[in-house]
Chain A
Amino acid sequence: MGTLSNILLVDDEPLLLSSLSRVLRLHYTVFTAENGAQALDIIQRHKIKVIVSDQRMPGMLGHELLGKVKDISPNTVRLLLTGYSDLDAILNSVNAGQIFRYINKPCSVEKLREMIELGVQIHDRIVSMQNDTKTATVAKPVVTDHVKSEIEPSATLLFVGYTPAEIQKLTSKINIRFNVEHATTIDEAFVALNRVSVSVLISDLHFGEHDGIDFLNTVKKEFPHTVTIILTDIIDATMAIRSINEVQVFRYITKPVSEELFARAVEEAVKKNRAYQATPHQNLKLTAESISPDQAFQTSAEKLRAKLVAARMAMTKSRS
């Protein structure tokens, strides 16, 4: 069976740590810490593939700990256990890119194992690709975003679900080299996505019968390099958590937002898109593709998928 992967569980409740250790012990080498400081100590001394931390802990909160872990050990996949009661912390951690997945508490052992296993796989994939890149291109430095942007100056932004006035206001400060496309409905969005290569998708979450996250997930599946920014007035922890867990959203921005701030987010998203195209292994979504979503989601997502396919066929027909 070889050596087991190292994982780290952090919670201020010793009994929870012991119960989780017991159910995970057979598959992983489980490290436990009762607070942030202990966890950081362990991270520094051991190669940890996946860290699972509780959000509410005395001393250091979970998202703070994971932010530090990102700096110390960037390849460690970070999972946050949360009780849905820390909305601000969740939104902040989404936008700081600290978290791979949120896990609701209490969580079934099966689900937790699945998450941890996915995390381990992603970790291994990233590490192996990094090694490949290193061995293959020793002399050539990793293509930087900077160089890339000079070669490829243009990018296409697709706004979905906003009024023209809103889009005009939002795009007033963005890079003029970016092309702006817009769609009011999901169907229009699919048409646009098939017509042009969209670098950044900026979307609301209101779409009548369709769930915004499902829509974004469908897009993500077909266009994994398209970077997603959610810009909405829905301030909801569940939505925020789903946007990370299901779509790996790049930014979750709540309205109203300043034009400058938005322009910066778009700029960063475009860079991210170029980085994905240059080095696809950075794209966790691609890597995480194997995980199966909930049953309920599947049916809803299937409908959307069918729409997308229809749009694509229509496009092909019109082209031929």
Chain B
Amino acid sequence: MLGNLRKYREIIISVALFLILDLSVLLVSSITTGQLESDAVAVNLASRQRELSQRIVKTLLQIQIAQNAGHSIDDPQNELATTFKIFDETIEGLRDGRLVTGGDYKTVMLIPVETDSAKVYLERAFLIWNPFKEKLFRVIAAKGTVPQEDLQDAVEYASNNNLLLLDLMNVITSEAEKKLSDKSNTLRTIQITGIIAALINFFILLFHFIRKLRSQDAEITRYSQNLEKMVSIRTRELRTAQEQLRATNISLEKAKYELEILNSQLEQKVEERTAELKNTQTQLIQSEKMAALGQMVAGLAHEVNTPLAFVKTNLEGMAEFQKEIFALIEESDKICEALKNDDMETLNEHLVQLAELQQRLKQNNVVQDIKDMLRESLTGMDRIQELVLNLKNFSRLDEAEFKYADIHAGIDSTLLIANNIIKNKAKVIKEYAPKLYAECYPAQLNQVFLNLLTNAVQAIEHDKGEIKIKTSIVDGYAVIRFSDNGKGIPKEHLNRIFEPFFTTKPVGQGTGLGLSICYQIIEKHSGMIQVESRVGVGTTFTIKIPIKQKRDGATVESIRSRASDLQMA
């Protein structure tokens, strides 16, 4: 609003100025015009006074003539009275300003004369008029006939002063005319000035408007140019956006297409991955088996190494004794020879040497030693034989895979295999049932036993280790329990230990597959494996397998096939 006001201020001021100017010109004009009218009346009436003064003289003369001729003087007398009245009120009006009878007998307002000279002339006119007025009044007031002397007096005064009065009236008239002319000049000047001012104002306004319009035009042009620019920018942007959109569209299309391809490939990939995974799993199971095998072989090597060491030592020892025994035999031969030849000298000589040899052998306890060496060596060889046999029993390579087997024999052969790791760490306590046979894959069960025994040994971190193996028959199931007094398994691990790859050992040691393989093997025997443990007290693994597998052929067949899967793995 304020802005608008400011915006229109110039216009408002201009218009106000214009109006004020025009109005003032109009006002001045109208005032001046009014004055001019009055002045015109004054000029007219002043000029009429000359005629009136002439008529007064004329009517006086007419009255004189008529009276002289004896005629009625009424008409000239009336005319004189009227003329006198008009002249008198006019001259008074010129001095004081009053309503007088105009030229056409209408009443008009006469204003007094203004100029000093006019006033002086008017005073002089009154000095002439006032005595004339009285003389005339007597003429007018006479009834029927005017006294001659009055008439004469009036005519004489008239003829004496009429010209003077006439001149005065002339001067006043010209004064009034001059004033009128001055005023009309002033009016013209004012009007012209007003018009010029109005024109100037108009031009200023015009100029101002033009300028404003022009600047507005410029602004509009600029704005429109800006607009154009913006529009073009926006257009470009829009075009770019459009192109991008198109590109996006295309890439979306492409992505969609690729997605479709991927989708179509996904199934294939899933299959491939599954195969890979199976392969990896197979490899892992294989590596677990290799690790177990390596451990077993190392243990076995150590087991064989010990009897081998003392058998070898004994043989080396015997090889040393061999020289002395051979010497003894040689001497004996020589003695026999000497006896045959009856060579007593030689006989004696060799008998002495034989006695020496015998003495030395006895002293060195050779005979007893040889006995011991042979006995101990045979023991050693027996042990090696036993180990080899056990290895055979453990692996059961020469037996039917699925058979009715002695579980105790399996545990015992496993214990022998694992002896080297157990003997340093724990005492084994067996609590066997009188007899325990079950339908099973003995080699696989032995693998389970070895795993459980290894775990038990690893759990024992003190030198009072004990591993208890208890077997029993419960409801047609062979039940085998392995208990250790090791560190135990924390509760949070207990329900995860059969998960594949779960291990608490450092990376690189143990695949975390051992117990999961055990679980699979037992499951394939339609059995179950359970664990109980208390931290710091020990752990017990319980295996249950049916003594007789269900005779329904399908089951056995499925066990067989699953077991062979495992074997292959």
Contact = CB atoms under 8 A, between A and B. Distances in A.
Nearest to B376: A15
A127 interface: no
Given A19-B317, A19-B376, A22-B317, A106 B309 contact: yes
Contact of B316 (A23, A56, A85): A23
Contacts of B373: 19, 22
Interface stretch (B13-21, B298-306, B536-544): B298-306
B420 A15 contact: no
Given A16-B309, A83-B302, A83-B305, A22 B369 contact: yes
Interface in B292-331: 298, 301-302, 305-314, 316-317, 320
* Most chain A beta carbons < 10 A, residue from B302, B309, B372, B463: B309
Contacts, number: 69
A131 interface: no
A15 B380 contact: yes
B306 A18 contact: no
Interface residues of B, number: 28
A26 interface: yes
Nearest to A59: B463
Contacts of A106: 305, 308-309, 312-313
Contacts of A110: 316
B379 interface: yes
A13 interface: yes
Contacts of B159: none
A19 B424 contact: no
A108 interface: yes
Interface string A76-91: 0000000101000000
A164 interface: no
A110 B283 CA distance: 47
Interface in B369-393: 369, 372-373, 376, 379-380
B372 A105 contact: no
A47 to B, nearest CB: 25
B372 A18 contact: yes
B309 A23 contact: no
Contacts of A180: none
B458 interface: no
Nearest to B320: A23
A109 B313 contact: yes
B107 interface: no
A205 B316 CA distance: 36
A59 B306 CA distance: 18
Nearest to A109: B316
A58 B424 contact: yes
B305 A20 contact: no
A105 B298 contact: no
Contact of B306 (A16, A85, A107, A108): A16
Contacts of A59: 424, 463
* Most chain A beta carbons < 10 A, residue from B307, B310, B313: B313
A19 B379 CA distance: 12
Contact of A16 (B298, B313, B364): B313
Given A19-B317, A22-B369, A58-B423, A13 B302 contact: no
B117 to A, nearest CB: 135
Contacts of B420: 56
Interface string A30-58: 00000000000000000000000000111
Nearest to B309: A106
B316 A13 contact: no
Contacts of B313: 16, 19-20, 22-23, 106, 109
Nearest to B306: A13
A85 B302 contact: yes
B310 A15 contact: yes
A56 B301 CA distance: 13
A181 B128 CA distance: 163
Nearest to A23: B317
B294 to A, nearest CB: 11
Contacts of B308: 106
A193 B301 CA distance: 44
B364 A26 contact: yes
A97 to B, nearest CB: 25
A39 to B, nearest CB: 16
B142 to A, nearest CB: 167
Interface string A98-127: 000000011111100000000000000000
Contacts of A107: 309
* Most chain B beta carbons < 10 A, residue from A12, A18, A22: A22
Contacts of B306: 13, 16
A57 to B, nearest CB: 7
A127 B311 CA distance: 36
Contacts of B314: 19, 22
A83 B463 contact: no
A86 B380 CA distance: 24
Contacts of A16: 306, 309-310, 313
A27 to B, nearest CB: 12
A105 B423 contact: no
A81 B524 CA distance: 45
B305 A105 contact: yes
* Most chain A beta carbons < 10 A, residue from B316, B364, B463: B316
A89 to B, nearest CB: 13
A31 B313 CA distance: 17
A319 B375 CA distance: 69
B232 to A, nearest CB: 64
A165 to B, nearest CB: 29
Contacts of A61: 424
B372 to A, nearest CB: 7
B424 A56 contact: yes
Interface string B167-207: 00000000000000000000000000000000000000000
A15 B307 contact: yes
A23 B372 CA distance: 12
A106 B424 CA distance: 20
Nearest to B369: A22
Contacts of B305: 83, 105-106
A253 B369 CA distance: 46
A16 B423 CA distance: 17
Interface string B506-534: 00000000000000000000000000000
Contacts of B463: 59
* Most chain B beta carbons < 10 A, residue from A19, A105, A110: A19
A61 B463 CA distance: 12
A18 B317 CA distance: 11
B376 A18 contact: yes
18 contacts: A15-B307, A15-B310, A15-B376, A15-B380, A16-B310, A19-B311, A19-B314, A22-B369, A23-B320, A26-B364, A56-B302, A58-B423, A58-B424, A61-B424, A106-B308, A106-B312, A109-B317, A110-B316
Interface of B: 298, 301-302, 305-314, 316-317, 320, 364, 369, 372-373, 376, 379-380, 420, 423-425, 463
A-B CB proximity, top 9 nearest: A106-B309, A19-B310, A19-B313, A16-B310, A109-B316, A23-B317, A58-B424, A15-B310, A19-B314
Interface of A: 12-13, 15-16, 18-20, 22-23, 26, 56-59, 61, 83, 85, 105-110
Given A12-B423, A22-B313, 15 more contacts: A13-B307, A13-B310, A15-B307, A15-B376, A18-B372, A19-B310, A19-B314, A19-B317, A20-B310, A22-B372, A23-B316, A26-B364, A58-B424, A58-B425, A106-B312
